[in-house]
Amino acid sequence: MMSESRTTWRDSTVYQIYPATFNEHDERRTGIGSIRGITEKLDYLQELGVDAIWVSPFFVSPFQDGGYDIADYTDVDPDLGSLADIEELIREAHERSIKIMIDFIPNHTSDQHRWFQESRQSKDNPKSDWYIWHDGAADADGKPLYDETGNRLPPNNWASVFSLPEQEKRQNGMMPWLGDEDLTPRISSWRWDETRQQFYLASFARFQPDLNWENPEVVNALQETMRFWLDRGVDGFRIDAVNYIAKNPQFDDEETDTSYAEHTGLNPYDQLIRHQSCGYPGNFHERLSMLISVLKEPRYKHRDLRIIFEAYMEEDQLDEINSLDPDYASTFNFGAIDADWSDSNLTARILQLRSHYGNLPRGAVGNQVLGNHDKPRVATRYGLEQARAAAVYSLMLPGNTFIYNGEELGLTDHHEIPEGVRKDPNGFRDPNRTPILWHHAQPNVGFSNAHPEALYLPINPNDRGKEVSKQLHDPRSHLELYRSALALRRLLQPKVFVSRDVEYSPASSRWHEQVAAYGIIGADHRESVVVTNFSDTEHRVTLANFHHGLGKVALSSHAQNPYRHGSQVLFDEGVSVLPYESVVITELR
């Protein structure tokens, strides 16, 4: 029987699972995580205290982009399992009151998808305009234009998001013809197809052709796949790279960014200011609504369904999306995901949080993301102690909080992955996708029973000691901190974000960028304050701006200082916060 969920989507913590490296079920020895491997760990996730899981793509795929290159939307990749396995996962998750969100990728498919295979055959087959095809640049008389090496010129300057590896090639001396002043060339997102003798558009990798959203048949087919999964019981979608579905159908050039400076790490793709190739205002909102509308169909009336859109965009654009249909959809708040702790720009981060919650349209839900499969792990970006503080800081926020698998163990990036086993076409994301460490005494730390060389990505040796088996029941461990924080979150049920300043005691402007706090009002109208010390120095702050009277320390992130728990605090007098500590103080009544 399906049990009632404890929490609605609006308050859920969502745990992201990257299937290939999460867990392979016991009987199998392929070295790749499996759907049944996820089901095996549902008890672990339930005890951790998450409300929902988001499973990254598990669909049929050549896995050239970790599954974000789909060859069949409505079947499971045989390397990961079967449709029956997913059905079992959904059932078992629901029995534990865990919701399940899956990835949905409406912008592109794999070039192995039968739609594309058919589309590329000719200019007049039934799927010929399911993708975005173009003859290329032409002169006034319609004659094709060529570059110096005799290649056809693409229709415009749109560039691939995955242009970053070009930087690396340049750094490795593979572009000797470029002078210091020259910018690293972007990769055009137009790719020439020999069969059809036309360009097709691929905003990401060459093997990920963009679907043609101008064609209603395509939109119908995509909506139909959403129904396919909703009918199998999934509770929502994380919608991938959604701003790319909105393009200018006239293919106008992007403006170039004259402030772009060439230096290490900058993606050549950022040489363009992007308003035509993605997030095109002329059709963006309308297309988002086409996705949302599926969830609102009468047949799903009694379900609690949700969409979270992935779009790296300006905040005001995200605010607009958040107001489209707040009961069904919101966008990821990536304000913290590129931040690094050493960056003393703490105020910027707090301000971002304030504006995120402050600007939420009526009825919309905020959210917070510390990490995902595309970004360095939070313990690597921040440091381990800082990551603990960040966890408490992030898990108390109202709305949705996202946890990337392994974040709860304090896992770090693995930077010594040998060239031959790397998988990421974008070049830099393998280090944060290595296997989860389950058991110190089992083969491959419990991830898989395969030969170590068969693993999809290698185990990170630097994280040995952080296995679940070692952390469980150790009150000072990262994992136990996550469990306590999630339990406290359940208790407090944060509903409202309160933005005020702490006061330093004694007052000194020198410290003003080191400690930050926010308040939350819980379901029972009780107020709590979350104080975070971003510095390596202890500080004393008063919390009179938040509340008066007596409070109690409900949680501290500090590994060495579990004794604070339960101690009483006067909000007017405040607290001392240790270096890199987050403390939660709840109002005592």
Residue ranges that bind ligand GLC, judged by CB under 6 A: 65, 68, 105, 204, 240-241, 310, 373-374
- What is the Cα–Cα distance from 73 to 86, expressed in whole angstroms? 13
**Residue found by looking up tokens 């898989």 in the block:** 448
Q: Give 51 or 374: the residue with its C-beta nearer to ligand GLC.
A: 374
Write out the H or E segment, with its range, that includes residue 193: strand 190-193
Q: Give 65 or 235: the residue with its C-beta nearer to ligand GLC.
A: 65
Q: Give 170 or 373: the residue with its C-beta nearer to ligand GLC.
A: 373
Instruction: Tell me the residue number closest to ligand GLC, measured at CB.
Output: 68
Q: Give 433 or 558: the residue with its C-beta nearer to ligand GLC.
A: 433
Name the DSSP class of 24: -
As a whole number of Å, the CA-based R_g of the chain is 25
Give the C-alpha distances (Å, rounded to integers) separating 224 from 20, 119, 221, 303: 26, 19, 5, 18
**Min CB(425)–ligand GLC separation in Å:** 8
- What is the Cα–Cα distance from 117 to 113, expressed in whole angstroms? 6
**Min CB(161)–ligand GLC separation in Å:** 7
**Min CB(413)–ligand GLC separation in Å:** 16
**Min CB(483)–ligand GLC separation in Å:** 27
Q: Give 68 or 504: the residue with its C-beta nearer to ligand GLC.
A: 68
What residues are paired with 188 via a beta bridge? 159
**Min CB(162)–ligand GLC separation in Å:** 8
- Residue among 434, 438, 428 at smallest CA distance from 412: 434
Buried residues in 29-39 as b, exposed as e (16+ CB within 10 A): eebbbbbbbbb
**In the Cβ-directed half-sphere of 83, how many Cα atoms lie within 13 Å?**
9
- What is the Cα–Cα distance from 193 to 216, expressed in whole angstroms? 24
**Min CB(210)–ligand GLC separation in Å:** 10
Q: Show Cβ contacts of residue 34 under 8 Å, excluding neighbours closer than 6 positions.
A: 19, 23, 24, 25, 28, 80, 81, 85
Q: Give 105 or 575: the residue with its C-beta nearer to ligand GLC.
A: 105
- Residue among 218, 202, 210 at smallest CA distance from 161: 202
The tokens describing 255, both together, are 């403006």
- What is the Cα–Cα distance from 431 to 424, expressed in whole angstroms? 10
Q: Give 105 or 219: the residue with its C-beta nearer to ligand GLC.
A: 105
**Min CB(374)–ligand GLC separation in Å:** 5
**Min CB(477)–ligand GLC separation in Å:** 29
Give the C-alpha distances (Å, rounded to integers) separating 52 from 5, 144, 397: 10, 52, 16
Q: Give 136 or 431: the residue with its C-beta nearer to ligand GLC.
A: 431
Q: Give 266 or 544: the residue with its C-beta nearer to ligand GLC.
A: 266
**Min CB(179)–ligand GLC separation in Å:** 32
**Min CB(575)–ligand GLC separation in Å:** 39
Q: Give 434 or 532: the residue with its C-beta nearer to ligand GLC.
A: 434
Beta carbons of 408 and 392 less than 8 angstroms apart: no
Helix, coil or strand: residue 368: strand
- Residue among 22, 32, 17 at smallest CA distance from 77: 32
